[in-house]
Amino acid sequence: MSDENTWQCEYAIETSAPAETIWSIFRDVRSWKAWNAGIERIDIDGPFVAGTWFTMTPPGEDALRSQLIEVRENACFIDETRVGDLVIKVAHRIEPLGSARTRVVYAVDARGPQASEIGPAVASDFPEVLASLAKLAETRAG
């Protein structure tokens, strides 16, 4: 695959919120739009487990169908979105750093036609999304 057909990047933030609090926010898919400005509407077709599909509509754009392909409680979930031959996977990892610190990582892997253009577009708001997630988690954790 040529370089223009592959794009990978990671974004991370550290927080004082514990993994369990972050996980509870991730698991509540219907509330993602409250802390992720890149979501206008979201619906999930079942429980937050591998194999479940969800539909997400970014503001002013068409809806995208994605599938949870891996779910590990308090640790990670990976979703996959396919648009034609383009496949975008986003891993959402929760990494305990020791006493009272947690790192949250969003890792994007885009492969297929125009991956080097679409991957950065998909991930463009991830720093803001992570900051909003961390703030909410810290508020909930007290």
Residue 133 has pLDDT above 60, yes or no: yes
Please give the pLDDT value at position 99.
Answer: 80
Please give the pLDDT value at position 142.
Answer: 81
| Three-class SS state of 33 | helix
Q: pTM of the prediction? A: 0.94
Please give the pLDDT value at position 87.
Answer: 97
Please give the pLDDT value at position 1.
Answer: 43
Q: What does the mean pLDDT of the chain come to?
A: 95
Q: What angle do CA 78, 139, 98 make, to 5 degrees?
A: 60
CA-to-CA separations, 36 to 31, 42, 111, 116, in angstroms, rounded: 9, 11, 24, 23
Residue 31 pLDDT level (bands cut at 50, 70, 90): very high
